[in-house]
Structure 1
Amino acid sequence: MASKRNGSEGGPRRYCGTGGALHATFNMLALSWIIISELLLSAHCLKDLKIFVPEAVRTGNSATLSCQYDLEQAALYSVRWYFGQEEFYRYIPREAKPTFVFAVSGINVDLSKSDATSVTLKSVTRELSGIYQCEVSEDAPLFHTEIRSAHMQVIELPKDEPVMQVDKKEISVNDNLKAVCTVGPSYPPANITWLINGRKIYKTPLQRISHDTYEGSTTYSSLDLLPHSQALQVFFQALPKYQHNIVLQCDVSIMQLLYKSVHQPIRLSNAPPTTISPNLLGLEGSKRYANGDPDNSALTGASQRCCICCGALGAFSLALVTLAVAQL
């Protein structure tokens, strides 16, 4: 009985020992595969993928897009370029003809200037503004793939020079100054900035700035500086000793492809403002007094009564002299 128990008890112990060994072996194999995979990935792996796309390019010009990467001794499988979601260029080095171009509306690839790291587009148009993607894949066994994207803006510059118009070229402390800066059609619309003597003018209640622009049409910016505006007051305060002229400036820019400036000299006048008394214009008498006599000033009521009395006295004296001569 004891041997049987010992035998029966020994059987299951041997079975369990075999299962434990299998489980340990599987764990060792899995761990080894993980270690080998990590070593492969760390030793030969696609790294440091970077994309370089022009931020802005003028219509009709060429644009070169590039993709820089480090394969670390791994083999390159392919490089693919996309505009939006459409593939337009592919490079596979192990193919007999490594370069492939796909038909995408508006895209014209210059194959003589395209390879594993860059692709050149000829005669770009406004429709090619958008997102470009570069996808790089390494070869077997891992086929590790990474992708980067960047935006390119195709610019259409205005054909004519910007123009500034001002309502006056000399102002005093109580004058408004109005100006308009005009830029021809462009894509995207031009940015317009106002300055005085190189200082930017900001929009405030006394410094009114407005912009009117529509895609494909002329861009306007208007400036209205009211009396005592911050931009002018600083110069009028220095007028008696230092400042006699200022330069109004209109800056026009479109991203980094266009920067132009228009200047207009403005003379500052320190003459006191001209004012006319309402009494001299006869505007106050009828309103303030029923008899039309606003006050007893020398220029209005008192002087008029004095002149009337003098006139009557002169006429009476003339009549007496005439009568005396007649009697003689």
Structure 2
Amino acid sequence: MASQRIRPEEGRRMSACRPGALHTAFNMLALSWIIISELLLSAHCLKDLKIFVPEAVIMGNAATLSCQYDLEQAALYAVRWYFGQEEFYRFVPREAKPTFVFAVAGINVDLTNSDATSVTLKGVTRELSGTYQCEVSEDAPLFHTEIRSAHMQVIELPKGDPVLQVDKKVIGINDNFKAVCTVGPSYPPANITWTVNGREIHKTPLQRITLDAFDGSNTYSSLEMFPNSQALQSFFATNYQHSVKVQCGVSILHVFHKNVEVRIGLNRAPATTISPNLLGLEGSKRYANGDPDNSALTGASQRCCICCEALGAISLAIFTLTVAQL
């Protein structure tokens, strides 16, 4: 059978059709991708992932960490919890035993109070202060995964109550005043604020406030007020006030608050002045010539000596007459 030869005109027509066919195929592929993307975007999937971790927990107490999310009717594949970079809890609903606990130093999971949205830690220690992460993954076909993190602080409370000491129980208008507040060791160190009659005292040149705080040791704060300080002046501004309440407030984050106070009396009597006559300062005016011994106390001594000599002469005369009669 003889082969058919393609005429040059037909070859040119076939070559001209090939670019149009490629263009059409590209358009169909692009349209298919757009349709698939729209279907994926409109499908139900994981969203609104939020993590809730206590900002501060007292050492020895339990801590519940939760992870809230919306799957929009999609299936859940797994929820994982991490301390730092170490996974310590996993929930996989498709497994026969959905909960898994992994050994991480210091972490003790309470399985009876842990599920797909929360995990509870028992007897937390200071070493568990740090960053926690919740990772949620939806099931096939997308396996969409999101992760959130939050920080938790484990605090150690002081074992005793704060102690407030003052240097005076009663103060006058010209007196200095000092108070010291002491708090036992805590983690983190306690914060101390000062109030007088409910009004917070701020640091100024005439109202000195110090704070010494170190991990593992007592925390000290002192308040020192000088006569011309605003606080002391306000104490004596009214006549009906006879005492003031000095208070130190102790707090550790938002978990621990403790106040200790003492009442200080106000002495409104004017400052005592001593008359110069009582000190003998006027005596120096009675003597002339700038004699350095002409002080009031020296003049009085000289007069006493003269009296003593006269008394001795009289006593000697009486004694002589008595002997002569005998």
TM-score band w.r.t. shorter chain: 0.7 to 0.9
Corresponding residue number in structure 2 for 1:321: none
Corresponding residue number in structure 2 for 1:15: 18
Unaligned runs of 5+ in 1: 316-328
Corresponding residue number in structure 1 for 2:28: 25
Alignment of 1:16-95 (within 5 A): 16-40=19-43, 44-95=44-95
Residues 281, 81 of structure 1: CA spacing in aligned structure 2 closer, same or farther, 3 A cutoff?
Answer: farther
Residues 292, 275 of structure 1: CA spacing in aligned structure 2 closer, same or farther, 3 A cutoff?
Answer: farther
CA RMSD of aligned residues (A): 3.0
Unaligned runs of 5+ in 2: 1-5, 311-326
| Structure 1: distance between partners of 2:256 and 2:20 | 81
Q: Deviations over 1:42-82 (max 9, x none)?
A: xx111111111111111111111111111000000000001
| Structure 2: distance between partners of 1:118 and 1:248 | 45
Q: Any conservation in 1 of the 2:54–2:65 contact (CA below 8 Å)?
A: yes
Paired AA for residue 73 in structure 2: Q
Question: Are residues 1:260 and 2:258 paired?
Answer: yes
Q: How many residues align?
A: 295
Give every structure 1 segment of 4 or more consecutive aligned residues whose post-TM-superposition deviation is greater than 6 Å. none
Task: Tell me the SS of whatever aligns to 1:237.
Answer: coil
| Structure 2: distance between partners of 1:23 and 1:213 | 72
| Structure 2: distance between partners of 1:292 and 1:70 | 101
Alignment of 1:1-328 (within 5 A): 6-40=9-43, 44-238=44-238, 240=239, 242-275=240-273, 280=279, 291-292=291-292
TM-score (norm 2): 0.82
| Structure 1: distance between partners of 2:163 and 2:197 | 18
| Structure 2: distance between partners of 1:138 and 1:278 | 96
Identity, % of aligned pairs? 63
| Structure 2: distance between partners of 1:105 and 1:97 | 23
Displacement of 1:147: 1.0
Paired AA for residue 256 in structure 2: L
| Structure 1: distance between partners of 2:273 and 2:133 | 69
Paired AA for residue 105 in structure 1: A
Displacement of 1:210: 0.6
Q: Any conservation in 1 of the 2:107–2:128 contact (CA below 8 Å)?
A: yes
Q: Any conservation in 1 of the 2:46–2:72 contact (CA below 8 Å)?
A: yes
Displacement of 1:275: 4.5
Displacement of 1:256: 2.4
Q: Deviations over 1:6-45 (max 9, x none)?
A: 54542322222222222222222222222222222xxx11
| Structure 2: distance between partners of 1:124 and 1:10 | 82
Corresponding residue number in structure 2 for 1:318: none
| Structure 1: distance between partners of 2:23 and 2:134 | 50
